[in-house]
C-alpha cells in the first residue's frame, strides 16, 4: 500500500438525516461495533448538543472497547458574539467526552453574510476561537469547511482564509465539503490539489454529497489530488440524494488504487457490514449497489454466463469474494443452458449440458416463466424445482387443502382465519389459525400444523414480501407474482409463486419457503454427521 487514507464514517450523523431513517441509541451502538470491526478510522456519531438521544449515546459509547475506531462528536463553531468557553454547543461537545471532535464552519461568503448574517471577519474569528478553545481542552479537531467548493468558486480568497484561520488555530484536519453536491470531479481535483499544496502540514479531508450522483467520483478525485481523509456513509444514506458511499469508495481506493483505508483482511466483510447497517436502519437494500449489491456480480444473459463460466474476468472487474459478495447465475428464459447447468450441478454434478434431464428442466422452466414465474431472484424455488424434476427431493409433508375466510370489520385486531389440512408420514393434521389478513392467517395455520413435526420451523421469519401484477390489462383477473424472502439463524432465501389469486400465489411461495427450510436442515444435518464421522 503506497498511502494511508483514513476512512471517516458519518452514517450515524449525516446518514441519520435521510428521510425515513431514525436510529435508536441501541441501533447506534450496534452500528458502531460493526464499523469498528470493519476497521473504520473515525465514526462521527452525532451532535450531543442537539437532542437527549445523542447525549445518552455518548454517555454509553465510552463503555465499548473499540479496536480501530475513534468516536467523533459533531458541532458548529461558536455562536455570533459569544465566547467559545460560554457557548452551550461547545459545552455539550466537551460533555460527550470524545478525544476527537468535528466542527463545521462557513467558508462561503454568501453563507456568512446572508444566512449566518454576520461579518466576514466575525466568521473567521468564530472558526479560530472555537478550534483554539477545543485544542486547549486536548481535543483532536476536524474542521468541516461547509460549502467549501461553492465558496471557493465564488470567492477563492475568502474560502482559503477560513481554512487558514482553522489551521492557525491548530485544526488537525481541514475537510473540504461539497455540501450542495453540485461540483464536478475535475473541479474537485483542481481545487483540492491547490488546497493541499497551500497547507502541506495539515491533513486534507473530503466530504461529498450525491446530488449530481458524483459523490463517489468526487471523493476519489479528491484523494488523487492529495486528500488523506475521506468522509462518507455506509450505502451512501443521507439527506436529499445521500452522501458519498463508503461501500464504493473503500474498494475503489483499496482494490483499484492500492491505497489503504481499512485493514486488508477486513474488506472481505464489507458486503455483510453494508447489509447489516440497512437492516438496523430498516431500509430496503439496493440490489444494484456496486461491489456489495446482490446484483453486482449477477449474470443473466446466456453469452455472459457462458463466458463467466470459462473465466470470470470476462464480465467481472474483481473477484466478488474480495468484498464478501458472491456470484449469482440467474436462471431465466434468456440465460440458456449454462445458467441452468450451474443450478443442476448444485444438485447433481454428473449431469451433462446436453443431457435429456437438462433439456427437460430447461423446457419446464421456460414454460413456467411464460406463465409469469421469475426465478432470477428466487433461487430457493429453482433449487427445489431442479431437485423435484430429478427425483432428488424427499417430500416432508403432503398438502391436502386450505380454506381462507375474511371477515370485516376486524375483531380483536384480526380480520381473517385459515384452515389447512396436511399429512406427515400418513398422519393427517387439520389446523386453523387467525391472522391480520388472509396471507398472515395461512402462514400462522401452516406453522401451527407443521411445528409439531418440525420444531425448527419456528426459527423461520419472513423478511420481505413483494407482489407484482403481471398483466394489468386484465384488471382484477390479472396474474400476480409473489416473491417472499425468508430467513432463519443460518441463511436467507427467496421463493416465488404465481396465480390469478394473490392468496394462492402467496401460498405457493410460502410452501416453497418451508420446503426449502426443511431440505436445507436435512442437508446441513447430513453434512455435520459426515464431518463427525
- What integer pLDDT is reported at residue 1 of this predicted model? 42
First to last CA, the chain: 45
Mean pLDDT lowest among 184-193, 294-303, 497-506: 294-303
Please state whether beta strands 414-424 and 427-435 pair in parallel, antiparallel, or not at all (unpaired).
antiparallel
Q: H-helix or E-strand containing 252?
A: none
Q: Quick check: is 386 in a domain? A: no
Cβ 78 vs Cβ 90: under 8 Å: yes
Are residue 246 and residue 332 in the same domain, yes or no? Answer: no
The pLDDT tens digits of the residues spanning 418-445 come to 999 999 988 888 999 999 889 999 999 9
Q: E strands of 255-397, at which residues?
A: 298-299, 328-329
CA distance 311 to 302: 14
Domain boundary among 332, 352, 371: 371
Q: Quick check: is 377 in a domain? A: no
Q: Quick check: is 31 in a domain? A: yes
Are residue 431 and residue 515 in the same domain, yes or no? Answer: yes
Are residue 29 and residue 147 in the same domain, yes or no? Answer: yes
Q: What is the CATH number of the domain that holds 526?
A: 3.30.160.270
Residue of 378, 391, 289, 375 whose CA lies nearest to 335? 375
Mean pLDDT lowest among 96-100, 119-123, 385-389, 396-400: 385-389
Q: What is the CATH number of the domain that holds 78?
A: 3.20.20.70
Residue of 403, 384, 381 whose CA lies nearest to 392? 384
Please count the structural domains in the chain. Answer: 3
DSSP 379: H
User: Taking the CA of residue 435 as centre, how many other CA atoms within 13 Å lie in the half-sphere pointing to its CB?
Assistant: 19
Residue of 85, 90, 119 whose CA lies nearest to 103? 90
For helices 336-347 and 302-310, give the axis angle rounded to 10 degrees.
60
Domain boundary among 218, 247, 281: 281
Are residue 39 and residue 166 in the same domain, yes or no? Answer: yes
**Structural domain of residue 142, as residue ranges?**
6-281
Average pLDDT, the chain: 89
Q: Quick check: is 16 in a domain? A: yes
Q: Quick check: is 414 in a domain? A: yes
Are residue 347 and residue 406 in the same domain, yes or no? Answer: no
Kindly state the percentage of the chain with pLDDT values over 70: 95
Mean pLDDT lowest among 37-41, 84-88, 459-463: 459-463
Q: Quick check: is 391 in a domain? A: no
268 falls in which pLDDT band (50, 70, 90)? very high
Who wins on pLDDT, 365 or 27? Answer: 27
Are residue 188 and residue 330 in the same domain, yes or no? Answer: no
The pLDDT tens digits of the residues spanning 272-310 come to 899 889 878 878 788 899 999 988 988 877 677 678 878
The pLDDT tens digits of the residues spanning 205-231 come to 999 999 999 999 999 999 999 999 999
Cβ 94 vs Cβ 48: under 8 Å: no
Are residue 418 and residue 451 in the same domain, yes or no? Answer: yes
DSSP 14: T
Query: Residue 272, SS3?
Result: helix
Are residue 409 and residue 328 in the same domain, yes or no? Answer: no
Are residue 302 and residue 277 in the same domain, yes or no? Answer: no
Q: Quick check: is 287 in a domain? A: no
Q: Quick check: is 473 in a domain? A: yes
Are residue 63 and residue 116 in the same domain, yes or no? Answer: yes
Are residue 269 and residue 358 in the same domain, yes or no? Answer: no
CA distance 97 to 105: 21
Cβ 486 vs Cβ 493: under 8 Å: yes
Domain boundary among 248, 281, 314: 281
CA distance 291 to 452: 42
- What integer pLDDT is reported at residue 302 of this predicted model? 67
CA distance 330 to 327: 10
Query: Residue 118, SS3?
Result: coil
The pLDDT tens digits of the residues spanning 81-140 come to 999 999 999 999 999 999 999 999 999 999 999 999 999 999 999 999 999 999 999 999
Are residue 221 and residue 111 in the same domain, yes or no? Answer: yes
Segment 307-336 mean pLDDT = 79
Q: What angle do CA 470, 472, 478 make, to 5 degrees?
A: 65
Amino acid at each position: 500500500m503506497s498511502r494511508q487514507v483514513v476512512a471517516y464514517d458519518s452514517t450515524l450523523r449525516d446518514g441519520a438525516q435521510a428521510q425515513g431513517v431514525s436510529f435508536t441509541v441501541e441501533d447506534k451502538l450496534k452500528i458502531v461495533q460493526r464499523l469498528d470491526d470493519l476497521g473504520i478510522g473515525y465514526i462521527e456519531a452525532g451532535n450531543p448538543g442537539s437532542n437527549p438521544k445523542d447525549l445518552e449515546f455518548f454517555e454509553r459509547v465510552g463503555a465499548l472497547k473499540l479496536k480501530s475506531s475513534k468516536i467523533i462528536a459533531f458541532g458548529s463553531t461558536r455562536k455570533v458574539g459569544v465566547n467559545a468557553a460560554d457557548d452551550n454547543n461547545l459545552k455539550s461537545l466537551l460533555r460527550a467526552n470524545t478525544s476527537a471532535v468535528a466542527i463545521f464552519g462557513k467558508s462561503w461568503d454568501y453563507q456568512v453574510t446572508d444566512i449566518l448574517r454576520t461579518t466576514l471577519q466575525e466568521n473567521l474569528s468564530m472558526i479560530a476561537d472555537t478550534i483554539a478553545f477545543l485544542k486547549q481542552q486536548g481535543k483532536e479537531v476536524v474542521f468541516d469547511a461547509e460549502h467549501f467548493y461553492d465558496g471557493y468558486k465564488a470567492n477563492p480568497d475568502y474560502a482559503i482564509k477560513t481554512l487558514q484561520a482553522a489551521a492557525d488555530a491548530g485544526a488537525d484536519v481541514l475537510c473540504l465539503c461539497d455540501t450542495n453536491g453540485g461540483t464536478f470531479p475535475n473541479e474537485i481535483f483542481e481545487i483540492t490539489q491547490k488546497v493541499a499544496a497551500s497547507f502541506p502540514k495539515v491533513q486534507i479531508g473530503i466530504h461529498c454529497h450525491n446530488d449530481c450522483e458524483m459523490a463517489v467520483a468526487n471523493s476519489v478525485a479528491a484523494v488523487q489530488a492529495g486528500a488523506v481523509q475521506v468522509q462518507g456513509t455506509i450505502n451512501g444514506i443521507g439527506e436529499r440524494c445521500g452522501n458519498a458511499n463508503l461501500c464504493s469508495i473503500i474498494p475503489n481506493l483499496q482494490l483499484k488504487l492500492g491505497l489503504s483505508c481499512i485493514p486488508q483482511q477486513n474488506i472481505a466483510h464489507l458486503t455483510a457490514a453494508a447489509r447489516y447497517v440497512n437492516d438496523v436502519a430498516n431500509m430496503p437494500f439496493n440490489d444494484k449497489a456496486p461491489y456489495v449489491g446482490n446484483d453486482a456480480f449477477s449474470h443473466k444473459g446466456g453469452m455472459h454466463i457462458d463466458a463467466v463460466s470459462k473465466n470470470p474476468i470476462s464480465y467481472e472487474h474483481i473477484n466478488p469474494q474480495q468484498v464478501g459478495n458472491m456470484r449469482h447465475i440467474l436462471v431465466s428464459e434468456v440465460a440458456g443452458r449454462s445458467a441452468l447447468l450451474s443450478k443442476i450441478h448444485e444438485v447433481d454434478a454428473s449431469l451433462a449440458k446436453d443431457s435429456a434431464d437438462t433439456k427437460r428442466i430447461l423446457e419446464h422452466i421456460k414454460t413456467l416463466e411464460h406463465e409469469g414465474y421469475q426465478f432470477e431472484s428466487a433461487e430457493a424455488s429453482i433449487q427445489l424445482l431442479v431437485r423435484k424434476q430429478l427425483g432428488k427431493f424427499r417430500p416432508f409433508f403432503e398438502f391436502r387443502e386450505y380454506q381462507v375466510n375474511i371477515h370485516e370489520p376486524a375483531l380483536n385486531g384480526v380480520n381473517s382465519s385459515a384452515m389447512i389440512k396436511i399429512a406427515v408420514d400418513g398422519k393427517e393434521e387439520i389446523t386453523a389459525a387467525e391472522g391480520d389478513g388472509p396471507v398472515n392467517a395461512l402462514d400462522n395455520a401452516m406453522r401451527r400444523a407443521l411445528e409439531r413435526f418440525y420444531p425448527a420451523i419456528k426459527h423461520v421469519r419472513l423478511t420481505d414480501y413483494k407482489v407484482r401484477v403481471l398483466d394489468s390489462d386484465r384488471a382484477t383477473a390479472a396474474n400476480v407474482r409473489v416473491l417472499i424472502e425468508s430467513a432463519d439463524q443460518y441463511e436467507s432465501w427467496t421463493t416465488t409463486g404465481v396465480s390469478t389469486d394473490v392468496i394462492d400465489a402467496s401460498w405457493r411461495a410460502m410452501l416453497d419457503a418451508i420446503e426449502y427450510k426443511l431440505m436445507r436442515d436435512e442437508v446441513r444435518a447430513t453434512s455435520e454427521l459426515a464431518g463427525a464421522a
